[in-house]
Amino acid sequence: MKGPAATRWRKLVQARLAEMERLQAGRGTLGAAFWDTRAKRFAARMSLATATGDPFYRRLRRSTGRRSTVVDVGCGPGRFTLALAPHVAAVTALDPSGRMLDICRKQARALGLANVTCVQGRWEETEVPRVDVAFSSYVLTLVPDAPRFLTKLDASATERAFLYLGAYTADAIMDPLWRHFHGRSRKPGPTYLDAADVLRELGLAPEIEVVEVATRARFKSVADAAKDYRDQLCLPDTAEVRKELRELLENWLVPRGDELGAPLKTVPAAIVSWRPRGPRGLG
């Protein structure tokens, strides 16, 4: 039986996925194919270099040591996996997207990291060995069945489990652009407050730390930015859309060095963590 927090979570995620599916048929379900097509661009933005300056990395370092084993759930191209690996015993990097994992594997090899194991699959359905610390960064809001995902995360770690989630939804910043094209606001996704509620419903005691993270999007030109924003705004690739977006973005983007960036320099994110109950809590 799911409680009200889990039900609310599912409704929010499903409504948002349905909206994406309606706007971009066949691409909106956020499965492995969706991430495969975005892996290269995502990796360019979310590189290893961005991880070491990130507050979440510093928090992970405080909870791990040379002998720690770790799992990075939904690792993407592996910014946290690659940053942590030199300082821990072993990292399991799991993701359903083969392209994301290829980038992670390649970078691990280039950095001479022999303690990274890449595993392809969805977290809910893939068995990995139990570890000391389990974490998942910017993944949970894509998953309708939060209790299943979180119960598994809890059961997989012996010392600490972590979620890293946006604390000020990107939608709030994008809202004027979204409304311009779609005539109404985007369906809201769940937040870290909803995640904490689901964890409490599962009998867990989450601790929350809100941190400030630098925005990473940088564009060489307005046309370059328009491609990225078109995807984020779920718009079709037509000449009219490209032109309209370029005009709007002229006034929207701000100079960052010799490139262009999003209006806010930093945005808040939430580190949600708890002491795991372990496999006894499974059920």
Which residue lies nearer to ligand SAM by CB, 94 or 131? 94
Which residue lies nearer to ligand SAM by CB, 68 or 81? 81
Helix, strand and coil percent figures for the chain, each rounded to 5: 50, 20, 30
Which residue lies nearer to ligand SAM by CB, 69 or 141? 141
Q: Would you call 107 helix, strand, or coil by DSSP?
A: helix
Q: Give the nearest distance from C-beta 78 to ligand SAM in angstroms.
A: 8
Q: Are the CB atoms for 139 and 113 separated by under 8 Å? A: no
Q: Give the nearest distance from C-beta 194 to ligand SAM in angstroms.
A: 17
Q: Give the nearest distance from C-beta 37 to ligand SAM in angstroms.
A: 11
Q: Are the CB atoms for 8 and 194 separated by under 8 Å? A: yes
Which residue lies nearer to ligand SAM by CB, 53 or 176? 53
Count of CB atoms within 10 A of residue 263's CB? 10
As a whole number of angstroms, the distance between CA 257 and CA 2 comes to 49
Q: Give the nearest distance from C-beta 193 to ligand SAM in angstroms.
A: 19
As a whole number of angstroms, the distance between CA 132 and CA 274 comes to 13
Query: Which residue lies nearest ligand SAM, judged by its C-beta?
Result: 76
Which residue lies nearer to ligand SAM by CB, 143 or 196? 143
Which residue lies nearer to ligand SAM by CB, 76 or 206? 76
* 152 Cβ contact list (under 8 Å, min separation 6): 123, 124
Q: Which residues form the interface with ligand SAM (CB under 6 A)?
A: 35, 46, 73-76, 79, 94-97, 100, 122-124, 137-139, 142-143
Per the structure block, which two tokens stand in for 133? 């610390």
Q: Give the nearest distance from C-beta 240 to ligand SAM in angstroms.
A: 29
Q: Give the nearest distance from C-beta 38 to ligand SAM in angstroms.
A: 8
Backbone angle region of 3, left / alpha / beta, with phi > 0 → left and psi within -120 to 50 → alpha: beta
Instruction: Tell me which residue of 104, 206, 200, 211 sits closest to 168, measured CA to CA.
Output: 211
